[in-house]
Structure 1
């Protein structure tokens, strides 16, 4: 399926949007709820595909689980099931079977787990023989996926002797680890992080009534829309000014791109000042999920950029660095990369046929669809392939952006 995007004039210059709740927080809360044997339901739980996958496994009586494309669920549940007595099969989509998990499996096996690979060494699906785990000391590279580390941290209080985790080298996606530890503290477990060592004691989690925040990652697409739409004011509902989410830094990034943020009891108001920088350089080591939004925004605002700290983008839903290079080239932008951890645009462009439809591939990646859709405000013939990938994190995305004058019609194919 494809969506042919259309643009219309909007009658309301002030748009109010109820953002989805954070799937990162929701999935952590679900695991902590389970580990604390909580009788309480989580308030404002995400309705994303990833959270539904997590919830489905935790509520299932089966021994075989398919989490589809939900990377967070795959990593968190690998750790969780390794301490639940029984034999479990954990699998996912074809792309999930290409996403490495060896670092986490090796760490868990070091703690006494027994996890085997059903197909390819180092990748899902997994056969997990759940048992009691013994904690102690463990060493991991700090530049691996933060989801591996968060998975270990969350089960750490429930295993014998807790866990002393040493992270070697550069620590990436630090805010996600801080989020995990802060949520664990809400459930009664206080950890200690000094230097590159995180110590989590053996201790019981305490059940608690909790509420998931709205999603700052989802907010990024509204910042992009306001950046392209100077006359429009957007009021986002449900965001916290003091947030557990590292992606709340999007407000600082877009302030440099001419979008201001004002917090009030009515919501978070975004307005366009018209100011833009001559160049935008940024290290995304702590906010990699914002790179796609910023890449499309900078290109369409004609702002050369150099992004670094993107090493985790190659193992996301797709290789996001390659995907951005490929799809922005369709719009005439010539991006380059060292093919490891950076993305660069120096302003080089080629002419394209604007009268022909431009079909953007989404690579089964929700953030590709959502980052490119606002480009319809600049390109009249934009088509989004496989548009419903947005349900992974923002199920009502297309209905919401229609309020900003970005409509769609379905093209079957």
Structure 2
């Protein structure tokens, strides 16, 4: 039975030790799909094994791909260059990457594919991606604008030019790019506006595609041309997860500790690694932090800001409202639950009032996590400094970091 709550005991000393973050969720789910679309066997090492990646692996198996797991950090994927109709809906929980990527990849199937998820996924928008696929001649429908999505595949699509609004999620763009290499002719993906959520993740997608033999040309700030190369099986080493690393970087600066992640911050290619420079500036975080290009690091930075010397305004974070939960509202609500007035919303901005005097106090608070792994993991940081912080539904961290609580414990953190 899943644990219902976990109360953190402030360690009262610097956290010192070595913790190796799990593999990148973003990269793992990209290369799982690319390996599945390739003909031959690919060995993916350093992979994340969590709810999100297991949903992706299970869906690929349902579509005729052989996915083996010889150890805790490896997937061995054998594809035929084609995907088969699964015969049942693909259930992907609340895995946004798997849902968006497979919605586009389902166009390669001969037959019907239903891409579905849990009640939280049913609230996450996918209409821009469905509209773009329809432009390319793919029979796709999502009547509510959110999953479930029904795709009737014809074994691929002809190629051509497609426009996409990437303002809500860069995953729409990544989904089209990855599917584009399997089209019958070149595909040109063009943004309809200048805004795109976390552009760095598109760069991550292109790097993974090129590793599997694709050719992508970037033309201007918002246009990509993908050649119809298909994919070649390859062995791929997945770097650690930068979003997971932010919690450990923050735990280090909060407690004055020294936590060795085994990977230097400048070795990460993921966008959230940009947060390292900000975290290192604590307790002198800037007055304004633009979170648009490091969205998954914002919960970490927001909780860290509660202990900063001066208030912090987070901007560019409207997309956080359509993540696993409305993270802007969740961060505001739960910080204010610790101390009234500690945070509030102004439009789509989050303002954290900051109070260094919170450290060392005992303020019994039950933190609602909204089934969101990042809310649980970030508010654990508050528990390192404030007595009485209880995280509800701590097991939700299994979405991306199943060993999170054990690894904090390995550093000396105890739970009541």
Q: Does 1:407 align with 2:397?
A: no
Q: CA deviation at 1:349?
A: 11
User: Alignment partner for residue 153 of structure 1, among 159, 171, 177?
Assistant: 177
Q: Please give the alpha-carbon distance, in whole angstroms, between the structure 2 residues aligned to 1:277 and 1:355.
A: 24
Q: Does 1:33 align with 2:58?
A: no
Q: Please give the alpha-carbon distance, in whole angstroms, between the structure 2 residues aligned to 1:250 and 1:188.
A: 31
User: Alignment partner for residue 195 of structure 2, among 155, 170, 174?
Assistant: 170
Q: Does 1:254 align with 2:282?
A: no
Q: Please give the alpha-carbon distance, in whole angstroms, between the structure 2 residues aligned to 1:77 and 1:187.
A: 18
Q: Please give the alpha-carbon distance, in whole angstroms, between the structure 2 residues aligned to 1:298 and 1:253.
A: 10
> What SS does structure 1 have at the residue aligned with 2:345?
coil
Q: Please give the alpha-carbon distance, in whole angstroms, between the structure 1 residues aligned to 2:388 and 2:402.
A: 24
Mean CA deviation greater in 290-299 or 192-201: 192-201
> What SS does structure 2 have at the residue aligned with 1:306?
strand
Rate the CA distance shift 1:305–1:356 in 2: closer, same or farther, 3 A.
closer
Q: CA deviation at 1:337?
A: 2.5
Rate the CA distance shift 1:244–1:347 in 2: closer, same or farther, 3 A.
closer
Paired residue for 2:241?
215
Paired residue for 1:235?
260
Alignment of 1:292-371 (within 5 A): 292-332=299-339, 333-340=341-348, 342-347=349-354, 357-371=364-378
Paired residue for 1:193?
218
Paired residue for 1:123?
146
Paired residue for 1:138?
162
Q: Please give the alpha-carbon distance, in whole angstroms, between the structure 1 residues aligned to 2:165 and 2:212.
A: 27
Contact 2:100 2:126 survives alignment (8 Å): yes
Rate the CA distance shift 1:336–1:29 in 2: closer, same or farther, 3 A.
same
Q: Please give the alpha-carbon distance, in whole angstroms, between the structure 2 residues aligned to 1:360 and 1:153.
A: 39
Rate the CA distance shift 1:153–1:65 in 2: closer, same or farther, 3 A.
same
> What SS does structure 2 have at the residue aligned with 1:244?
coil
Could you tell me the TM-score, scaled by structure 1's length? 0.88
Q: Does 1:205 align with 2:231?
A: yes
Rate the CA distance shift 1:197–1:356 in 2: closer, same or farther, 3 A.
closer
Contact 2:8 2:384 survives alignment (8 Å): no
Q: CA deviation at 1:179?
A: 0.5
Paired residue for 1:88?
113
Spell out, residue by residue over 1:3-36, the C-alpha distance to the aligned partner (whole angstroms, 9 max, x if none). 12223467x9630111100010000000110111
Q: CA deviation at 1:355?
A: 5.5
Q: Does 1:184 align with 2:187?
A: no
Q: CA deviation at 1:187?
A: 1.0
Q: Please give the alpha-carbon distance, in whole angstroms, between the structure 1 residues aligned to 2:388 and 2:281.
A: 29
Q: Please give the alpha-carbon distance, in whole angstroms, between the structure 1 residues aligned to 2:62 and 2:251.
A: 40
Q: Does 1:226 align with 2:252?
A: yes
Spell out, residue by residue over 1:169-227, the C-alpha distance to the aligned partner (whole angstroms, 9 max, x if none). 22331100000011111111121112221111111322111111111110100111112
Rate the CA distance shift 1:284–1:391 in 2: closer, same or farther, 3 A.
same
Q: CA deviation at 1:255?
A: 2.3
Runs of 4+ in structure 1 off by over 6 angstroms are: 348-351
Measured on the aligned residues, the alpha-carbon RMSD in Å equals 2.1
Could you tell me the TM-score, scaled by structure 2's length? 0.87
Paired residue for 1:98?
123
Paired residue for 2:96?
71
Q: Please give the alpha-carbon distance, in whole angstroms, between the structure 2 residues aligned to 1:194 and 1:15.
A: 45
Name the count of aligned residue pairs: 384
Q: Please give the alpha-carbon distance, in whole angstroms, between the structure 2 residues aligned to 1:200 and 1:186.
A: 14
Q: Please give the alpha-carbon distance, in whole angstroms, between the structure 2 residues aligned to 1:349 and 1:396.
A: 29
Q: Please give the alpha-carbon distance, in whole angstroms, between the structure 2 residues aligned to 1:172 and 1:57.
A: 26
Contact 1:216 1:239 survives alignment (8 Å): no
Q: CA deviation at 1:166?
A: 1.3
Q: CA deviation at 1:284?
A: 1.2
Q: Please give the alpha-carbon distance, in whole angstroms, between the structure 1 residues aligned to 2:164 and 2:56.
A: 25
Q: Please give the alpha-carbon distance, in whole angstroms, between the structure 2 residues aligned to 1:13 and 1:95.
A: 35
